[in-house]
Amino acid sequence: MTIAIKNVCFGENVTIVEPVNLYGCTIGSDSFIGPFTEIQKDVVIGERCKVQSHSFICELVTIGNDCFIGHGVMFVNDLFSEGGPAMGKKELWKETTIGNHVSIGSNATILPVSICDNVVIGAGAVVTKNITKPGVYAGNPAKFLRGI
């Protein structure tokens, strides 16, 4: 297994548990990155975040402060808008923005969306639309269950 930590901008007191692939990203102070995690270029992770093992955070993702990303969470930036993978057409990729105080349960899938502050995403959920109201969301597709 290749371990790569290249061109990463780290805040203070960041904990990394290898093996990981981190390249061209920014990780805020007091954050934790678990093993078997890939974080691609131009990703920004805020302060005091915890990214658990086996998660994949692709380009064009921004995560706020005080967030929790569970085990095996997958972020997606390509919606196959032309019927298949973008195949080098980065202009087809879409952005994802995660607010502050957001917890995403294990094995959730996050499509290109915007999620407001103070949200809990249940384990295994598939987030397909923007979330603009704080609360708890779960299911496929993820739906509002209750406030917090």
Which domains, from first to last, does the chain contain?
Answer: 4-80+89-146 (2.160.10.10)
Query: Is the bond preceding 85 in cis, omega lying within 30 degrees of 0?
Result: no
Tens of pLDDT, residue by residue over 67-108, are 999 999 999 998 888 888 888 788 888 999 999 999 999 999
Q: What is the CA radius of gyration of the chain?
A: 15
Q: Which of these ranges, 3-7, 17-21, 35-39, has the smallest mean pLDDT?
A: 3-7
